[in-house]
Structure 1
């Protein structure tokens, strides 16, 4: 069973071989690169679930690889492999965006545990991201039902929340009053499109009017559209 793809960037052949064998035995798909430049190229050409990155590498140091990767990729977990006593490397690595580090010589079971922990955290972060709807500086977390705009928490009634979520799920799409009525209120309100206008007004007072940029736009004679 493939548990995920791991990139190992390690120039010591013996260590790289041990890591590769142990990780493959655990069910991971492993790619090994021996230089910083080759490791960076691999990350540019493919996606990995986790990276084991040695700090001391030929051609390009592990810290420089980390710095370049984090310019465009902040999501992939990176565990640094550092030399014993190299506190500055550990500090610099964490400051540059490393998720964790392990010191040579390391216990393979400890490393495997750290890998599992980082993969779990990453899955949780991805799930959190998937539950978030956003446009401009407005975000809605569907899991917690928290609404923020420009860093401010906003309070909505359940119906206002449902209307906002529907608009966010159909960004850039002009929705008629009938479409909004059916989606948010159901057929019980069929024909009473005035209720849509009333709740759009309520919603605007909370998420639009206190802010400079308006997100809910009226399309005269048709309905409404949410766009940034």
Structure 2
């Protein structure tokens, strides 16, 4: 790694760095944290798989040459679990076959060592932009029991009536749907929907808005099936 970056980004996420060179891993963590990402580190393949099993990540930066399980072994097992976390490979290998195998196993991009922190951050942010485009919900949602949502008009059609969504409710719904494969915390919603600078605040705003949204989109608001509560963590969209 040859330089650092002062660039800012609006596409941030939770990243796991899997790199056995500790100084390099720390440098990557600092560069990515400076760009607004939440970053964790592990130094071997087995620990990486354990971390991926118990926590949600948006992207993994994965070195191919790891002690114990190789990066390719980690990637193979990850995809066998049907995980769709994005993977950016780090490699010092000139061996084209290893890179081809990585892409065949489901890697999304790679960076060859040595590389600059600026290049790595730019490639990660490109992955997040693609993910965001992939997740963008359709403007017309067909839900259970004939309920439809028109996000462009902020309208819910149910039981022959039209129920208006507030702009905030529309933003919450879009954020939940875009992030449907993971648990969305209250802090996530405060930061990305309410745009708080700091989510360390005592407020029931999120819970109150979720209750109101459920009344409009859930077939049975008393037994929500679309906006599910994950106890102690937050909410998950399920349709």
Please indicate, yes or no, whether the TM-score normalized by the shorter chain is above 0.5. Answer: yes
Matched, 1:10 2:13: no
Report 1 or 2 for greater relative contact order, CA contacts < 8 Å, sequence distance ≥ 6: 2
- Normalising to structure 1: TM-score of the pair? 0.57
Match in the other structure for 2:126? 117
Matched, 1:45 2:19: no
Matched, 1:65 2:81: no
Number of residue equivalences: 144
Matched ranges for 1:1-228 at <5 A: 3-127=12-136, 130-131=137-138, 168-171=142-145, 182=160
1:133-166 alpha-carbon deviations (Å, 9 max, x no partner): xxxxxxxxx56xxxxxxxxxxxxxxxxxxxxx7x
Instruction: Compute the displacement of 1:23 (Å).
Output: 1.1
Q: Could you list the runs of 5+ residues in structure 2 that have no partner in the other structure?
A: 1-9, 148-156, 163-239
Superposed structure 1 runs of 4+ greater than 4 Å apart:
none
Q: Could you list the runs of 5+ residues in structure 1 that have no partner in the other structure?
A: 132-141, 144-164, 174-178, 185-228
Instruction: Compute the displacement of 1:88 (Å).
Output: 1.2
Corresponding residue SS for 1:120: helix
Q: Which has the larger radius of gyration?
A: 1
Q: Do the aligned partners of residues 120 and 2 (structure 1) sit closer, same or farther apart at CA in structure 2, a change above 3 Å counting?
A: closer
Instruction: Compute the displacement of 1:17 (Å).
Output: 1.3
Corresponding residue SS for 1:89: helix
- Kept in 2: contact 1:84–1:105 (CA 8 A): no
- Normalising to structure 2: TM-score of the pair? 0.55
Corresponding residue SS for 2:115: coil
Report the structure, 1 or 2, having the larger helix content.
1
Instruction: Compute the displacement of 1:5 (Å).
Output: 1.0
